[in-house]
């Protein structure tokens, strides 16, 4: 058995490579952007590639490559079920509704007229989101009909930049207030620069237009619960909102104590992951009328202390295991195990 | 059993609805763009929706809705296998390579540097294409390294409009010369208007950039062979190129006599359709030294015109049946049969 890893330093591939080396898994490093990538993968059984929304090129073809390799019989992480809805809140709305998962009520419109009609009938505040973007970028609270109408006009005219430079700068100020260190100060200088010099992703990402997405605003949540389900493990982080802000994602204020987490919530996470047939999924949950509700989900997440500091995980019988956590190793472990199960003659010789 | 049909006059839904009425199939008309569409489909076993590339709204949500409904156990036409690569030549390149189908050699690059390195090693002419666009729009012949360099610079700088207004107007002139009808005159006037007033599609479509796609140019083809496979039927249409042009798609110069078609090509179309697990697929074939090569594929096609003019079809054993055809009826017939089997 042999796997291919798309080597991109700073991404999950760092740890996947370490895992392969430690466990003597035969692997080769490849570049998925090569035009002859399909034939390069002729001699492998699986491909692991940690692509994300920051890479405009991956957004152009990662799903297509994945689907094609699956047809060829090559296993991919993340597979189609795990990744097709990544960074796509519109896709997630359809999917979570379709499987009957507890999604915070969401709305999508493809014409200004329908959206404007809806504004007349609905209540405010609502949360406005673009379909893509991580860490609460492109998310804002809409308190009035007037503001909603303004957003709708924009969505069906010039559209929205996929990166909000002002809100990104605000975010950097927030980090300085929180951390009060030199790095945060440097971040602000960078943010000012970014007002004038766009990033690669900005240059290549299209304006978001032709649709508009809103979500119900659920009051009384001063934190959200991030639950990551990888196979039969669930790790948890409670993330507190920024001061005077309703957004928890990206705030960086967190707690891990397993006692903070409601077992009902963990159970819903496991059940939903199973219905999604997802190999790795991070859910953002909030509480509405004593029920956990999903705000959004993502197959990938930041690597490093944020999740490594989790003191353990729950298994799918909701039993807590006090043990060091390495989510990227969990992913590689499951991937290799499933490959071995699918290739019995090879697993015998291994 | 009940199905839902996204009702869009002028699309396949016209005929799907007639089929249901004629055959007493229980159906309801739906609007897939409704925010609560998932809920609306609760009482249905299947959904049929003929979306295409000129509907920007469909491009924003059709694949996502399809995948979600499949998770719910609702059958969709076109299903994910049939449609995910639609209007996406980059996706088709990966897929056809992955199943080892005879694709005309294609290249894709995601950085200017890699593309520029490649043009130094390759030969010309090559065919440049955007990943989307029907009827040869957004397709051009690149004869020199210099022209290729220009294309590459544009692809990684300002990008390409998905609609080429000048090419569109040129096409309208070509239709006029072919048909010399009052209708084609009107189209030319419309084309001039379009130089100044963008269509809805154009207003909402994104500029194509961040990638560049080329295909080998295969000379000595003054026609292409379009084969449509729906279930175990295959239909053929030979499309001749425009005068002094290498593009056949969109020319409207068609012949249908069964003896014009190579059995190897038909056999190949059936085999690939099976591998793709597709319910409906149109292949554009050209010949490279007697071997049929695929240029591109599509799950849907214009409803009237060529596809209605076919004089019969081949079955899976390559037997020919003389009969008048209604391709949209075949689609729904297969769809209903699959649902009944379930």
User: Tens-digit pLDDT profile for chain A (350 aa)?
Assistant: 999 999 999 999 999 999 999 999 999 999 999 999 999 999 999 999 999 988 888 999 999 999 999 999 999 999 999 999 999 999 999 999 999 999 999 999 999 999 999 999 999 999 999 998 765 668 899 999 999 999 999 999 989 887 666 667 777 776 777 777 877 777 777 777 776 666 666 677 778 899 999 999 999 998 999 999 999 999 999 999 877 777 777 777 899 999 999 999 999 999 999 999 999 999 999 999 999 999 999 999 999 999 999 999 999 999 999 999 999 999 999 999 999 997 654 433 33
Q: CB–CB of A13/A19 below 8 Å?
A: no
Contacts of B118 in chain A (CB under 8 A): 35
To the nearest whole Å, the CA of B277 is away from the closest chain A CA by: 10
Paired tokens of A36: 């002859």
Contact B60/A206, CB-based, under 8 Å? no
Model pLDDT, residue A345? 45
Per-residue pLDDT tens over the stretch B284-311: 999 999 899 999 999 998 877 666 778 8
CB contact under 8 A, B64 and A90: yes
Chosen for mutation from A94, A109, A154, A271 (greatest number of chain B CBs closer than 10 Å) is A94
In this predicted structure, what is the pLDDT of residue B139?
86
Mutate to test the interface with A, among B30, B32, B35 (most CBs of A within 10 A): B35
Taking residues B126-131, report their average pLDDT: 95
Q: What is the pTM of this model?
A: 0.90
Size of interface A-B (CB pairs under 8 A): 119
**B325 pLDDT higher than 90:** no
B135 — pLDDT class (breaks 50, 70, 90): low
The yes-or-no verdict on residue B134 having pLDDT over 70 is: no
Domain B223-325, CATH 3.30.470.20 — does that match?
Answer: yes
Q: Is A247 helix (H, G, I), strand (E, B) or coil?
A: coil
- Across the interface, of B37, B88, B210, the residue whose CB is closest to A57 is B210
Summary mean pLDDT of chain B? 90
Smallest CA–CA distance from B215 into chain A, residue = A35
Which chain B residues are closer than 8 Å to A275 by Cβ? 71
Q: What span, in angstroms and rounded, lies between the C-alpha atoms of A71 and A49?
A: 17
Token output for A151:
């957003």
Contact (Cβ atoms closer than 8 angstroms) between residue A318 and residue A302: no
Mutation for A interface: B44, B51, B94, B113, most A CBs within 10 A: B94
Q: Is residue B245 scored above 70 in pLDDT? A: yes
pLDDT value at position A187?
A: 75
Dist. CA B327–CA A240, nearest whole Å: 57
Q: What is the per-residue DSSP string for B310-342?
A: --EEEETT--EEE----HHHHHHHHHHHHHHH-
Structurally, at CATH architecture level, domain B105-163+208-217 sits in 2-Layer Sandwich (3.30)
With CB atoms and an 8 Å threshold, state whether B90 touches A64. Answer: yes
pLDDT for residue B19 is more than 80: yes
Q: Whose structure tokens read 């009702």? A: B7
Rounded distance, CA A244 to CA B226, Å? 62
**B114 interaction partners in chain A (CB closer than 8 Å):** 33, 35
Q: Which residues from chain A sit within 8 angstroms of residue B117, using beta carbons?
A: none
Give CB contacts under 8 A, 24+ apart, made by B50-54: B50/B6, B50/B8, B50/B11, B50/B12, B50/B13, B50/B16, B50/B300, B51/B6, B52/B11, B52/B87, B52/B134, B52/B300, B53/B86, B53/B87, B53/B132, B53/B133, B53/B134, B54/B134, B54/B199, B54/B201
Would you state the pLDDT for residue A135? 57
pLDDT value, residue B47: 98
Neighbours of B105 (CB within 10 A): 14
**Please, which pLDDT band fits residue B145 given cuts at 50, 70 and 90?**
very high
**For A81, which residue in chain B has the nearest alpha carbon?**
B67
Q: Are strands B46-48 and B75-77 parallel, antiparallel or unpaired?
A: parallel
Cα separation, A312 vs A327, whole angstroms: 11
Inter-chain touch B98–A98, beta carbons under 8 Å: no
- For chain A, the structural domain boundaries read 3-79+331-349, 105-216, 223-326
Lowest mean pLDDT among A310-319, B11-20, B181-190, B325-334: B181-190
Q: Does A99 touch chain B (CB under 8 A)?
A: yes
Is A135 in contact with A250 (CB distance < 8 Å)? yes
Among A67, A109, A114, the residue with its CB nearest the CB of B95 is A67
B225/B239 Cα distance (integer angstroms): 6
Long-range residue pairs from B176-181, CB within 8 A, at least 24 positions apart, any chain? B178/B251, B178/B252, B178/B253
The pLDDT value given to residue A200: 66
What is the average per-residue pLDDT within B189-210?
Answer: 75
Find the chain B residues whose C-beta atoms sit closer than 8 A to any C-beta of A.
Answer: 33, 35, 37-39, 56-57, 60-61, 64-65, 67-69, 71-72, 74, 84-85, 88, 90-91, 94-95, 97-99, 107-111, 114, 118, 204, 206-207, 209-211, 275-276
| Contact (CB<8Å) B110/A118 | no
List the domain boundaries for chain B.
3-85, 105-163+208-217, 164-197, 223-325
3-state secondary structure A105-129: CEEEECCHHHHHHHHHHCCCCEEEE
Does residue B62 sit in helix, strand or coil? helix
* Chain B contact for A94 (CB, 8 A cutoff): yes
Task: Nearest chain B residue to A215 by CA: give it.
Answer: B35
Shortest Cα–Cα distance, A250 to chain B (Å)? 27
Contact B94 A61 (CB under 8 A): yes
CB-count exposure of residue A218 (10 Å: 0-12, 13-18, 19+): middle
Q: How close is the nearest chain A Cα to the Cα of B321, in Å?
A: 32
Strands B312-315 and B291-298: unpaired
Q: Do the bridges between strand A3-6 and strand A46-48 make them parallel or antiparallel, or are there none, so unpaired?
A: parallel
Chain A: give the shortest CA distance to residue B179, in Å: 36
Query: Which residue of B57, B74, B84 is in closest CB contact with A67?
Result: B84
Mean pLDDT of B120-140: 87
CB atoms within 10 A of CB B202: 15
Cα B258 to Cα A312: distance, rounded to the nearest angstrom: 68
Mean pLDDT of B30-58: 95
CATH topology of domain A105-216: Dna Ligase; domain 1 (3.30.1490)
pLDDT at B342 over 90: no
Q: For residue B221, is pLDDT > 60?
A: yes
List, in sequence order, every residue forming a beta bridge with A212; answer none if it has no partner.
Answer: A109
Is A223-326 CATH 3.40.50.150?
Answer: no
Q: Which CATH number among 1.10.287, 3.40.50, 2.40.128, 1.25.10 corresponds to the domain A3-79+331-349?
A: 3.40.50
Q: Inspect the interface and report whether the beta carbons of A95 and B71 lie closer than 8 Å.
A: yes
Nearest to A141 by CA among A126, A130, A131, A154: A126
- The alpha carbon of residue A268 is apart from the nearest alpha carbon of chain B, in Å, by 18
CA A166 to chain CA centroid, nearest Å = 22
Class of domain B3-85: alpha beta
The whole-number pLDDT of residue B206 equals 78
Q: Cα separation of B302 and A122, whole Å? A: 40
């Amino acid at each position: 058995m042999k796997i291919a890893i798309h080597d991109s330093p700073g991404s999950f591939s760092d740890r996947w490579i370490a895992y392969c080396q430690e466990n003597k898994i035969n692997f080769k490093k490849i570049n998925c952007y090569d035009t002859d990538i399909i034939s390069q993968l002729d001699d492998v059984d699986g491909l692991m590639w940690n692509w994300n929304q920051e890479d405009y090129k991956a957004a152009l073809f990662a799903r297509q490559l994945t689907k094609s390799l699956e047809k060829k019989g090559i296993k991919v992480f993340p597979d189609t079920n795990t990744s097709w809805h990544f960074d796509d809140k519109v896709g997630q709305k359809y999917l979570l509704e379709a499987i009957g998962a507890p999604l915070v009520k969401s709305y999508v419109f493809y014409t200004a007229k329908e959206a404007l009609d809806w504004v007349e009938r609905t209540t405010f505040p609502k949360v406005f989101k673009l379909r893509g973007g991580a860490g609460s970028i492109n998310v804002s609270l809409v308190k009035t009909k007037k503001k909603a109408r303004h957003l709708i006009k924009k969505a069906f005219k010039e559209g929205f930049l996929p990166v909000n430079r002002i809100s990104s700068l605000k975010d950097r100020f927030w980090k300085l207030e929180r951390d009060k260190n030199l790095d945060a100060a440097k971040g602000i200088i960078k943010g000012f620069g970014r007002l004038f010099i766009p990033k690669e992703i900005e240059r290549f990402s299209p304006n978001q237009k032709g649709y508009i997405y809103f979500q119900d605003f659920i009051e009384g949540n001063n934190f959200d619960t991030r639950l990551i389900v990888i196979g039969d493990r669930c790790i948890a982080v409670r993330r507190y909102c920024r001061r005077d802000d309703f957004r928890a994602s990206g705030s960086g204020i967190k707690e891990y104590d397993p006692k903070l987490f409601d077992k009902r919530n963990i159970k819903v996470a496991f059940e939903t992951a199973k219905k999604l047939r997802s190999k790795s999924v991070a859910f953002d949950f909030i509480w509405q009328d004593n029920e956990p509700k999903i705000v959004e989900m993502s197959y990938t997440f930041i690597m490093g202390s944020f999740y490594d500091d989790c003191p353990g995980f729950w298994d799918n019988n909701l039993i807590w295991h006090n043990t060091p956590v390495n989510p990227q190793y969990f992913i590689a472990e499951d991937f290799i195990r499933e490959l071995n199960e699918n290739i019995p003659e090879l697993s015998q010789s291994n | 059993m009940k199905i839902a049909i996204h009702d869009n006059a002028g699309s396949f839904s016209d005929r799907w609805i007639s089929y249901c009425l004629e055959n007493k199939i229980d159906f309801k008309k739906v609007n897939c763009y409704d925010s609560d569409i998932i809920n609306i489909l609760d009482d249905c076993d299947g959904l049929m929706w003929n979306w295409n590339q000129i509907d920007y709204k469909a491009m924003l949500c059709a694949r996502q809705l399809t995948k979600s409904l499949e998770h719910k156990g609702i059958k969709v036409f076109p299903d994910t296998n049939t449609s995910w690569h639609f209007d996406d030549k980059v996706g088709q390149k990966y897929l056809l390579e992955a199943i080892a189908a005879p694709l005309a050699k294609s290249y894709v690059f995601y950085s200017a540097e890699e593309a520029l390195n490649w043009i130094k090693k390759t030969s010309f002419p090559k065919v440049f294409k955007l990943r989307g666009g029907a009827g040869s729009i957004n397709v051009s012949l690149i004869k020199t390294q210099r022209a290729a360099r220009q294309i590459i610079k544009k692809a990684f700088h300002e990008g390409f409009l998905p609609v080429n207004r000048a090419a569109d107007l040129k096409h309208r002139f070509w239709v006029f010369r072919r048909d010399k009808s009052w209708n084609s005159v009107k189209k030319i006037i419309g084309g001039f208007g379009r130089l100044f007033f963008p269509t809805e599609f154009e207003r909402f479509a994104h500029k194509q950039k961040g990638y560049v796609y080329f295909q080998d140019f295969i000379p000595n083809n003054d026609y292409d062979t379009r084969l449509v496979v729906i279930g175990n039927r295959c239909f053929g249409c030979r499309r001749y190129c425009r005068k002094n042009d290498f593009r056949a798609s969109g020319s409207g110069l068609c012949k249908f006599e069964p003896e014009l078609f190579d059995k190897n090509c038909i056999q190949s179309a059936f085999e690939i359709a099976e591998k793709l697990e597709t319910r409906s697929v149109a292949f554009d074939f050209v010949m490279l030294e007697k071997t049929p090569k695929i240029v591109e594929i599509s799950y849907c096609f214009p409803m009237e015109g060529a596809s209605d003019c076919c004089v019969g079809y081949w079955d899976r054993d390559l037997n020919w049946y003389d009969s008048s055809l209604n391709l949209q009826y075949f689609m729904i017939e297969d769809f209903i049969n699959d649902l009944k089997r379930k």
